[in-house]
Amino acid sequence: MAATPLIPVILCGGTGTRLWPLSRASYPKQYWPLSGDGDATLLQQTQQRLEGLEALAAPLLICNEDHRFIVAEQMRQLGIEPNAILLEPMGRNTAPAVTVAALQATADGDDPLLLVLAADHLIRNAEQFRAAVAAGRPAAEAGRLVTFGIVPTAPETGYGYIEAAKDFNAGELKDVPIARFVEKPDQATAEQFLATGRFTWNSGMFLFRASAMLAELDRLNPEVVSCCRAALEQDTADLEFLRLEREAFAKCPNVAIDVAVMEKTELGSVLPLDAGWSDVGSWSALWETSDRDGDGNVLQGRVISQGSRNCYLRSEHRLVVGLGVENLVVVETDDAVLIADRSQAQAIKTVVKQLEADGSPEGKAHRKIYRPWGHYTGVTEGDRWQVKRISVKPGASLSLQMHHHRAEHWVVVKGTALVERDGSEQLVGENQSTYIPMGCRHRLSNPGRIPVELIEVQSGEYLGEDDILRFEDRYGRSDLSLLQN
């Protein structure tokens, strides 16, 4: 008898502000390579560690609509064609996300196993993780709702805990019924939890039959199911994406799957997982889980360290030099530098809130902005002018558009661009340029096999990204799609 198909459900929400200045709302931590094990991002590692699981099917991904092209591109880089990429018009926590995934997975009458994973977790021992998933499969196939509890390494107060109804057998991968979920405890309580041997950290990873979860949702929180069903029934296909209907999804309760189901159901089981897990919740947590040199340092990028100890030093662009410093986090990006004591790493969230309150662009976005056709980077700017570096992927094209308040001068520095201006086309090669006057209908395309890179000089009375009148767009965007060239 064939094994039940296993569909990974990868939740890609979250902004990861505690890893600022690298992780920001426009490009959160799940889309960055953070582990030091190569160029794979946390999202890509989440998919890669599944390889070898029995009856593994294509993943179903759920993300913010602003990140849809990032998700699609990172899956394309892995050669993965997703089951679907569902776009949430706004965040509504994990219960609605799990519900729409289960409804989508059962739409054709199938009843697969769903493996719910966060895109921003780090797991060092992928083999042990796969063994735990395999161990949880029989219970899930029988109708249990299995969650993976992380075997504690310390009495942490920053995690929720799960108490098993009986003792785990030492060294055995076997699920045990859940007695209760406990919110983040104080230090003394956490120490008591570890002494019992029955408590694990709540990882937010689950394995269950789609029908079993839907039945419990219908019984325990039917409003979530009805709103998600309406949002999915009225969804809109957009290229390879499925857009959930905004008004229906907005009515959905903002509730975690733990609260909606797992804390109330009698079908819950917990399976201990000891695989080097981290939710990468801060720079200090990343330092703890990363490979360190003989002086206890984690060095990423163009970094020189002399006499430094127990530091996390990261460079994205410029050279970073650490001389005789200890217990510091130093992270350099194109527009911001963080210098913090490792013990203060959690306080970064307050800095981000301050930046957002001040309206500072560094609070939400990088200078490099990703688009479906590629990306652009702000280089410098002045009064009534600015310079950008633009990269267009092979076969990609910007929209046919016009600007009311600015003119543009493009200089191609790599590849060959196809430029359309008021209905006429011309090829512009390396070291050649073209001028786009104000009010001109224009489009930039890459007909070649390598990325096109160009320098764009804008000049005019207003240079905002919302000065775009869009006429045609292969990505389905309109002239109302502000900040999305």
pLDDT attached to residue 477: 65
**277: helix, strand or coil:** strand
* 16 in any annotated domain: yes
DSSP strands (E only) in 68-198: 84-88, 113-118, 122-123, 145-150, 161-164, 176-182
14: tokens are 């979250």
Among the residue ranges 18-22, 89-93, 235-239, 438-442, the one predicted with the least confidence is 235-239
Domain contains 477 = no
Same domain, 64 and 152: yes
Q: pLDDT for 368-379, tens place per residue? A: 888 889 999 988
- Cα separation values, 479 from 69, 277, 371, 444, Å: 18, 44, 15, 17
Q: Please say if the pLDDT value at position 239 is more than 80.
A: no
pTM of the model: 0.88
Task: Give residue-wise pLDDT tens across range 128-180.
Answer: 999 999 999 999 999 999 999 999 999 988 899 999 999 988 778 899 999 99
Phi and psi angles of residue 151, each rounded to the nearest 5 degrees, phi first? -65, 120
Same domain, yes or no, for 266 and 304? no
Residues 6+ apart with CB under 8 A from 108: none
Residue bearing tokens 């990873």: 205
Helix (H, G, I), strand (E, B) or coil at 9: strand
Write the single-letter amino acid at 369. Answer: I
CATH of the domain at 396: 2.60.120.10
Do 329 and 187 lie in a common domain?
A: no
Which residue from 210, 146, 147 is spatially nearest to 4, judged by alpha carbons? 210
Where is the domain boundary, 222, 254, 278?
A: 278
Same domain? For 105 and 167 the reply is yes
What digits encode the pLDDT tens for the residues 285-325? 999 989 999 999 999 999 999 999 999 999 999 999 999 99
Inter-CA distances, 288 with 278, 282, 343, Å? 9, 10, 12
Alpha helices in 142-204 (DSSP H): 187-196
SS3 120: coil
Radius of gyration over every alpha carbon of the chain, rounded to an integer in angstroms: 25
Tell the burial category of 24 from Cβ atoms under 10 Å away from its Cβ (0-12, 13-18, 19+).
buried
Nearest 5°: the CA angle 122, 76, 369 is 80
pLDDT at 238 over 80: no
Q: Given 3-state DSSP classes, what are the helix, strand and coil percentages for the chain, each rounded to the nearest 5?
A: 25, 35, 40
Mean pLDDT of 460-476: 88
| CA 17/CA 33 separation, integer angstroms | 16
Whether 204 is covered by a domain: the verdict is yes
Is there a single domain that holds both residue 15 and residue 148?
yes
Q: Which residues pair with 63 in a beta bridge?
A: 87
| One domain, residues 129 and 220 | yes
The reply to whether 127 falls in a domain is yes
Q: Are 455 and 413 in contact (CB under 8 A)?
A: yes
Cα–Cα separations (whole angstroms), residue 442 to 348, 418, 447: 42, 11, 16
Do 81 and 28 fall into the same domain? Answer: yes
Contacts of 463 (CB under 8 A, 6+ apart): 381, 384, 385, 386, 405, 406
Task: Report the pLDDT averaged over residues 406-423.
Answer: 96
DSSP-derived letter for residue 58 is -
Residues 404 and 439 sit within 8 Å (Cβ to Cβ)? yes
Which of 228-242, 339-353, 436-450 has the lowest average pLDDT?
228-242
Are 149 and 272 contained in the same domain? Answer: yes
Q: What is the mean pLDDT of the chain?
A: 92
Residue 389 contacts residue 88 (beta carbons within 8 Å): no
The pLDDT value recorded for residue 426 is 96
Domain that includes residue 434, residue range: 368-472
The answer to whether residues 257 and 297 belong to one domain is no
**What CA–CA distance (Å, rounded) separates 181 from 96?**
20
Q: Do 209 and 232 belong together in one domain?
A: yes
**Does 384 share its domain with 261?**
no
Domain assignment present for 284: no
Contacts of 366 (CB under 8 A, 6+ apart): 24, 26, 27, 333, 334, 335
Look at residue 81 and tell me if it is in a domain: yes
The answer to whether the bond into 82 is cis (omega within 30° of 0) is no
d(CA 46, CA 58): 13
Together in a domain, 315 and 431: no
pLDDT of amino acid 483: 39
375: enclosing H helix or E strand = strand 374-382
- What angle do the packed helices 222-233 and 210-220 form, to 10 degrees? 120
Examine the pLDDT at 479 and tell me if it is beyond 80: no
From CA 283, how far away is CA 131, in angstroms rounded?
A: 29
CATH number of the domain enclosing 253: 3.90.550.10
Number of domains the chain is built from = 3
In percent, how much of the chain has pLDDT > 90? Answer: 80
Q: Please give the backbone phi and psi of residue 7, each rounded to the nearest 5 degrees, phi first.
A: -105, 115
**175 closest CA partner among 66, 271, 80, 71:** 271
Report the candidate in 90, 83, 82, 140 with the shortest Cα–Cα distance to residue 115.
140
Residue 480 has pLDDT above 80, yes or no: no
What per-residue confidence (pLDDT) applies to 39?
84
In a domain, 481, yes or no: no
Q: What is the DSSP string of 401-444?
A: EE-SSEEEEEEEEES-EEEEETTEEEEE-TT-EEEE-TT--EEE
Q: Is residue 123 part of a domain?
A: yes
